[in-house]
Amino acid sequence: MTARFDKLGLIVALWIACSIALSPFATFRANRIVQGEPRSILEALPQPLGYALVVLLVAVAAMALFRTPIPIRLAASLAALLALSVFIGLAATHLTPPDNSYARVSPASGFWQLSFAFALLTADSVTRLRPSPPLRVAVLLAVAVAIGGILVSGSWNGLSVLKEYASRAETFWNEAATHLTLALGSLLAAVLVGLPLGVLCHRVESLRPGVLNVLNIIQTIPSIALFGLLIAPLGWIALTIPGASAIGIRGIGAAPAFLALFLYSLLPVVSNTVLGLRNVPRDANEAARGIGMTDTQRLFTIEFPLALPVILTGIRIVLVQNIGLATIAALIGGGGFGVFVFQGIGQTAMDLVLLGAVPTVALAFAAAVVFDAIIEMTTPARGRTA
């Protein structure tokens, strides 16, 4: 029986081969701001280890070409990702001269391309296995624990992004708390306002077009422009209303960022609430009326439970959106991970940019996985696709 080629595997294998042969694995710089010198896998690692990594990556790429059993495919792609994670730390140790605190070693384009290719292979394998929602969350936790273990072990301490973190550890966690406060706080406020507003728009149809049109207009305003538009009114409130400044309302800082994120969050919450309630089967409502339920009882015992997956989808959109948009709050003094992103851009220090960008992407990805699992668990079995 002839082996069958896997279409996605063929693309990934070619991608991996090109990344190994043509793209640098690591970048060495004499200090944090000078131009980097690219290093291939064989140049970035001691020779035996370099050859061992190339052999492993090529072997997994070759396996991906064919329709191999999914568990084996998944285990191989995870092994490749783990090897990349370990070997990039070894490359930093190998390339950094002894007792040199100024040199910087960063993952280069080849490392990121290889990581993305094997992550794509892993995601494809997981999708084909169709794991249950709790299992997907468990896998996410396992990955987080593995990354945490590598960080705690010190294997990545030689990488420049960790050196940037070491000099800003306290600031990093303060900005992380600010970022989460902006993202989660604005989401909570939007849910508290958006759910009742969505119910009102569902019950009073004449209100629906006006409310949704206004929220659509807000959504079209660029984020930086909206931040700027809020500076003047919030500054006026801080100056004219006693006590407003004391509770944090100012023209710049977290207040306009929080308000902008709240306004952006309303449309998905309101529109998905309306859509979810509209999709509740008419028969369910008629049966509830038939047994004497009031409008309030029907809302909480029939309509909300059936509309919950659609409402949660809106909340998921808002959370992922807000985690990303909160980065821009740093432009108006709002704090968050954007502080490192914009400092890094200003200093031409890409590792400082990564210090803010990587946790932002990781948080957004984790939030999406968790909410997808919750949505699937709350969706009635008959509504799930096979």
* Mean of the per-residue pLDDT values of the chain: 86
Flag the least confident range among 40-54, 121-135, 281-295, 367-381.
Answer: 281-295
What pLDDT digit, counting tens, does each position of 359-372 carry? 999 999 999 999 99
pLDDT at 386: 38
Q: What integer pLDDT is reported at residue 257 of this predicted model?
A: 85
Q: Write down the pLDDT at residue 245.
A: 67
33-47, 50-64, 221-235, 311-325: least confident range = 221-235
Residue 243 is predicted with a pLDDT of 67
Give residue 274's pLDDT.
Answer: 92
Length of the chain: 386
Residue pLDDT, tens place only, 62-109: 988 888 888 898 899 999 999 999 999 999 999 988 877 788 899 999
Global pTM value: 0.85
User: What is the pLDDT averaged over residues 3-29?
Assistant: 87
Average pLDDT over residues 37-52: 92
- pLDDT tens digits for range 156-173: 988 988 988 988 889 999
Vertex 372 angle, CA 361 and 254, to 5°: 45
Residue pair 255/263 in contact by the 8 Å Cβ criterion? no
Structure tokens at 134: 């709790």
Confidence tier at 154 by pLDDT (50, 70, 90)? confident
Nearest Cα residue to 90 out of 126, 43, 56? 43
Report pLDDT for 98: 83
Domains in the chain, CATH or no CATH each = 7-159 (no CATH), 169-383 (1.10.3720.10)
The secondary structure of 245-267, three-state, reads HHHCCCCCCHHHHHHHHHHHHHH
Angle at 103 between CA 102 and CA 109, to 5 degrees: 140
Token readout for 88 is 């990039």
pLDDT band at 1 (very low <50, low <70, confident <90, very high): very low
Q: Per-residue confidence at 385, pLDDT binned at 50, 70, 90?
A: very low
Contact (Cβ atoms closer than 8 angstroms) between residue 305 and residue 377: no
Q: Is it the case that residue 383 has pLDDT exceeding 50?
A: no
The three state secondary structure string of the chain is: CCCCECHHHHHHHHHHHHHHHHCCCEEEECCCCCCCEEECHHHHCCHHHHHHHHHHHHHHHHHHCECCCHHHHHHHHHHHHHHHHHHHHHHHHHHCCCCCCCCEEEECHHHHHHHHHHHHHHHHHHHHHCCCHHHHHHHHHHHHHHHHHHHHHCCCCCEHHHHHHHCCHHHHHHHHHHHHHHHHHHHHHHHHHHHHHHHHHHHCCCCHHHHHHHHHHHHHCCHHHHHHHHHHHHHHHHHHCCCCHHHCCCCCCHHHHHHHHHHHHHHHHHHHHHHHHHCCCHHHHHHHHHCCCCHHHHHHHHHHHHHHHHHHHHHHHHHHHHHHHHHHHHHHCCCCCHHHHHHHHHHCCHHHHHHHHHHHHHHHHHHHHHHHHHHHHHCCHHHCCC
| Lookup: tokens for 315 | 């909340």
The residues near 31 (Cβ < 8 Å, ≥ 6 apart) are: 102, 103, 104
Radius of gyration (Cα) for the chain, nearest Å? 25
Q: Can you give the pLDDT at residue 49?
A: 93
pLDDT per position as a tens digit, 292-332: 777 778 888 888 888 899 999 999 999 999 999 899 888 88
**Residue reference for tokens 């690219």:** 38
Mean pLDDT across the stretch 26-42?
A: 86
